[in-house]
Amino acid sequence: MASFSVEDFVGNGVLKDLLPTLLKEGWDDVPTLKIMNEEDTDAMNMTQQQKDALEIRSYLHDRALLQYGDKLEASGKCLPELLSISTVDLSSQFGMKRGHIARFVDRTSACADPLLKSYAPFTARNMNSIASRKNSNFKSYASVNSRKMQASSSMNHDKPLEQSLADFKIKDDHIFKGIVAAGPAEPRACGCVQPPPIVDSVAPYSAIENISVEKLTPEYKIGMERLVKTKTPPMKASELWQDKPAVILCIRRPGCIMCRAEAHQLYVKKPIFDALGIRLFAVLHEHIESEVKNFWPRYWGGVVLFDRSMKFFKALGGGQLLKDSFISGFIFNPRAIANYKRAKATGSEQNFKGEGEIKGGLLIVGREKSGIAYQFIERNFGDWAPLAEVIDICSKLQNQQQTRGVHQNITAI
């Protein structure tokens, strides 16, 4: 799967010398780089060759084919010209494997969600917070609220944020249960094995606010060391969402192919969450340094936290760790096997290091003490929280925050 390391993304081609300028102007992470439009590249004084390279590498990144970036860029051809090359020439000239060729020529088979392309770049030179952005890992929604969201390529049409979010909007009659599994709890092994029960009520805020967590990685930016050199002191979890809502992704095992694919497909939406004023965190219940290095920033470019007490995971299980065995939870579970095949198709790698039977999930926590807005439990190994629900809940939190701010201003007047 394509890496979220900016250095890996730009490779050794014409974009490499542009890294210092990109960093200075705030184009300092892969998801944001990929949604630069023509106005933004002109503002950066990019040459046509650099523009072509950016388009090629964004296309390859979507399809987990970034390993061919240097060769394709060195050909001097633009993306439309490369897509018109015969499959035989793609193999002979660029050494593409047959399966990779099929993924490359199929314009509808992007591993990343194509809907991301409808979200405009937060044009760095026009953002009100450009000075503070250099010292912050997160861009505020207020700094981009006035901009219309534009397409990231000539194939897309202009689209405002509100209209783009409507693509993810859930039907009005949908009932949020707080806990939503990706699939029902189906009997396993012809009904001989029953799935472990889950708690169907949202965890109380008191179960998570005082959790002690340790930051293992920062949010990845251009030129940053691969890991924090100095050990950071523990912090209280409530600090994570003190001023902005937060999405907390609880990872079962960072070497698991399904966990890696889930983290990647969530973090690739970072520009959307940035625009909504939502922070993203991944939480591990086990600290194996080599596994953290393999996970970040390749599959997740955001902050990674260590929950030594496993209290986030216990909160998902109603106070107890939700566990399942490999035999009953995977071998005899057709839904888990289907989840594995889905993750395998993304091109992720995997290993079997660490504890993999403790189930994970996802929490969306409102700012300050407003509580848990959404909770998702990994009922089957590899279940992912539906992105439509995650983004819809985050949109509602952002709207509530804006409404609260308006009321406070009226009261002050």
| 97-104, Cβ contacts within 8 angstroms, sequence gap of 24 or more | 100/65, 100/68, 103/63, 103/64, 103/65, 104/60, 104/63, 104/65, 104/68
* Coil, helix or strand at residue 235: strand
Cis omega (within 30 of 0) for bond into 297: yes
Could you tell me which residues are beta bridge partners of residue 236? 212
Which residues carry out catalysis?
Answer: 256, 259
* Pick from 171, 160, 56, 63: nearest CA to 113: 63
- Whole-angstrom CA distances from 27 to 65, 133, 261, 326 are 22, 10, 24, 42
- CA-based R_g, the chain, Å: 22
270 C-beta neighbours (distance < 10 Å), count: 24
Cβ proximity of 150 and 117 under 8 Å: no
Place of tokens 């490369």: 82
